Structure 1
Amino acid sequence: MRSLYVVTHPEATHHVEGVVGGWHDSLLTPADVRAAVLIARALRARIPVGAEVEVFSSDLQRTRRTADEVTHLFGVEAVLDRRLREKSYGEAGGRPQAWLDERFVPPPAVGERMDHDEGVPGAETKAVWARRVYAAMDEILRSPCEHQIIVTHGGSLTCVVAAWIRMPIESAGYASFQAPSGSITTLREDDFFHNRQVVSLGDTRHLHSAQD
């Protein structure tokens, strides 16, 4: 049985400042460093003691900081992979969200969506974004490790899940798997049929339980 735990990093400074994230290298807010600790503890509770664990993370600071808490509890090193980054918004990264909103061209309801130009210089198309995340997932899944943790971003979660269920890239133009910041999505593949499940999507119970 293979289990993947896909973590979306907790709230970052770009959320609070109202600026565009993407490849803008924002930090976790001080309060959400605590959320990263809770994520790590929740994962430690779900994975058997002594089991082999691999951790993969986007190389941006907000995901690396989250992964640090996870690797500390599991006693492993994270593999940093820039292919697990959020979608690049090009020149919009780090600018006020309003700057992007004024220029953004949404994809058409029908027609070409994966190679759609959003009107922002330097921004990735959804096709480019999906291909790099799919490539990262192909490499991750070549490992026989039964427990793997992936620390990524809210937007890139869609590409991770789409790759997991083997959705063809050309069909991913309409895909959107929503998960809040600081969530854990659990994916599982059985050893007999090799069916791939989305066991839970965007679970945040570990964050709320600390407030009770």
Structure 2
Amino acid sequence: MKRIITIQHTESEHHLNGMVGSWTDWELSKRGRHEAQQITTNLTNEFDLNDFMIYSSDLTRAVQTAQPLATKLGKEIMLEKRLRERNLGECCGQSVAWLNQHKLKDEETIDDRLFPSAESRRESFMRLQSFFDELIENPKDVVLVAHGDILTQFYALFLNQKMEILTTLRFQGLAGGVSIFAIDDTVRIIEKLNDSRYKQIKTDDL
């Protein structure tokens, strides 16, 4: 049985300062770094991850979330640009308020773009799909660290959904949420979805 564990990156500086995430390369906040360490502790207490591969978006906030686990297991992080959050083009480096004031329109279809140079959901789905297909063909168990919007698309792929479902389906991902999937022959199993208990830390630790 193949197991896939996904981790949405933990609290990032852009969660606190009102700025857009996307391809802007934010670091984790102090809380986010503690949460990443706690996820490592809780996951390794529950699972033997020694034979797992670790994949991460190459953006800093995702890499910093994956690093404590890689360090504990003595493994290399496989940096994967196809796991990046959706590119919002000229909105990168701007505030959420700027985004809301300047976006072209709301995204009603998978081909709509918030900005002229932004990725549509179709485009990000297609780049993710190539990675997903390679992942499924590889028998190795994996941990992958990515971002909220792109993980919504990953879950749709895992459920064998077509990209058009992204106009009507959203997963309300949480920073530091852990999801656990398994594939047993041809059966795809959801064991946990967006479980925030793995990141819980004591206030005294901050």
Structure 2 length-normalised TM: 0.92
**Partner in structure 1 of residue 128 of structure 2:** 133
In 1, are the aligned partners of 2:83 and 2:150 still within 8 Å (CA)? yes
Paired residue for 2:85?
Answer: 86
Q: Provide the residue aligned with 1:106 in structure 2.
A: 106
Give the drift of 1:210.
Answer: 4.1
- Match in the other structure for 1:43: 43
- Is the contact between residue 53 and residue 74 of structure 1 (CA under 8 Å) also seen in structure 2? no
The structure 2 residue matched to 1:122, chosen from 117, 131, 134, is 117
Over 6 Å off, 4+ runs: none
d(CA) in 2 for partners of 1:66 and 1:60? 10
Q: Does 1:203 align with 2:198?
A: no
5+ residue gaps, structure 2 = none
Moved more, 79-88 or 65-74: 65-74
1:209 CA drift (Å): 5.9
Give the aligned partner of residue 148 of structure 1. Answer: 142
What pairs with 1:159-198 in structure 2 (closer than 5 Å)? 159-191=153-185, 194-198=186-190
SS at match of 2:148: coil
> What secondary structure is seen at the aligned counterpart in 2 of 1:155?
helix
Q: Secondary structure at the match of 1:134?
A: helix
- 2:32 and 2:199 map into 1 onto residues whose CA distance is 10
State the SS of the aligned residue for 2:200: helix
| Structure 1: gaps of 5 or more residues | none
Q: Please give the secondary structure, in 1, of the residue aligned with 2:179.
A: strand
Letter in 1 for 2:197: R
Q: Which amino acid aligns with 2:29?
A: T
Cα deviation digits, residues 31-55 of structure 1 (max 9, x gap): 2111110111122123226x51111
What RMSD, in angstroms, separates the aligned Cα atoms of the two structures? 1.7
Distance 1:69 1:155 in 2: 23
Aligned residues: 203
SS in structure 2 opposite 1:189?
A: strand
Alpha-carbon distance between aligned partners in 1 of 2:48 and 2:21, rounded to the nearest angstrom: 35
Query: Residue type matched to 1:134 in 2?
Result: Q
C-alpha contact 1:89 1:124 (8 A) present in aligned 2:
yes
Distance 1:4 1:210 in 2: 28
Q: Are 1:158 and 1:177, in contact at CA under 8 Å, matched by a contact in 2?
A: yes
**1:54 aligns to what?**
53
1:3 corresponding residue in structure 2 = 3
Asked if 1 retains the 8 angstrom alpha-carbon contact of 2:36 and 2:199, the reply is no
